[in-house]
Amino acid sequence: MPQGKPAVVPKDGLTTRQRRNRPLLAVHTGEMKGKSTAAFGMALRAWNQGWSIGVFQFVKSAKWRVGEEAAFKALGKLHDDTGQGGPVEWHKMGEGWSWSRKQGSEEDHAANAQEGWAEIKRRLAAETHDFYVLDEFSYLLKWGWLEADDVVSALASRPGHQHVVITGRYAPPELIEAADLVAEMTKVKHPMDAGQKGQRGIEW
């Protein structure tokens, strides 16, 4: 996609530079895979800028995204060792949040999710990271574990210049409304429809 001109220039009193540098809230939703994959692709660009990256995976299984996790941990280590790129923190609800002494379990899935969001709110307020991936976060709203108003208000009032990408199906209207960028991944054709099973290196 070309680094093109905007369709309209808003009368918001901002300079081009100010407008260029506004922090982004992106939502990747829709039924097709590619939502998280594209978020991690964006995180590659953020890493290359030397930004601090915080990934928060709100998925049940600790086995998901192992390929992306390994690659980003390698990139984060490269930063720590050589200074190239940015630092990377990768947190997973599925194996219990690393900052928490509690072990994640099936029973307190909602409580674990709420604890994850509380930590993200603290980090946003403290401007801990430059680029956040909240992976499969939309389900927490869909399932009523978090209030959309609380989420949107914390995101809208985040200080500084923190980019946030939220992925997952069923993004609620309040989140779509609050987002600067919303992409919907749509299935045209998928190998599982033709009976193919998931495979190593492709699905995980």
Kindly identify the residues of this chain, within the stretch 52-111, that bind a second copy according to CB under 8 A: 66-68, 70-72, 74-75, 78, 84-85
41 touches a second copy by CB under 8 A: yes
Q: Which is nearer to a second copy, 99 or 204 (CB)?
A: 204
Inter-residue long-range contacts of 71-74, CB under 8 Å, 24+ positions, other chains counted:
72/40, 72/43, 72/47
- Give the residue among 172, 174, 175 at the shortest CA–CA distance from 164: 175
Q: How many residues bind a second copy (CB under 8 A)?
A: 77
Binding range to a second copy, per CB under 8 A, among 36-44, 91-99, 101-109, 117-125: 36-44
Q: List Cα–Cα distances, 122 to 32, 95, 173, 177, in angstroms.
A: 31, 21, 24, 23
Which strands sit side by side in the sheet containing 25-29, from one edge to the other?
25-29, 163-167, 131-135, 53-57, 88-92
Task: Give the single-character DSSP code of 192.
Answer: G
Interface positions, 144-163, toward a second copy (CB under 8 A): 163
Backbone angles phi, psi at 178, to 5 degrees: -75, -20
Interface positions, 15-34, toward a second copy (CB under 8 A): 16, 19-22, 24, 28-30, 32-34
Q: Which is nearer to a second copy, 160 or 191 (CB)?
A: 191
Binding range to a second copy, per CB under 8 A, among 7-15, 90-98, 113-121, 148-156: 7-15
Contact indicator for 93, 125 with CB cutoff of 8 Å: no
Q: Which is nearer to a second copy, 76 or 104 (CB)?
A: 76
Q: Which is nearer to a second copy, 68 or 115 (CB)?
A: 68
Pick the binder of a second copy from 13, 106, 156, 189 (CB under 8 A): 189
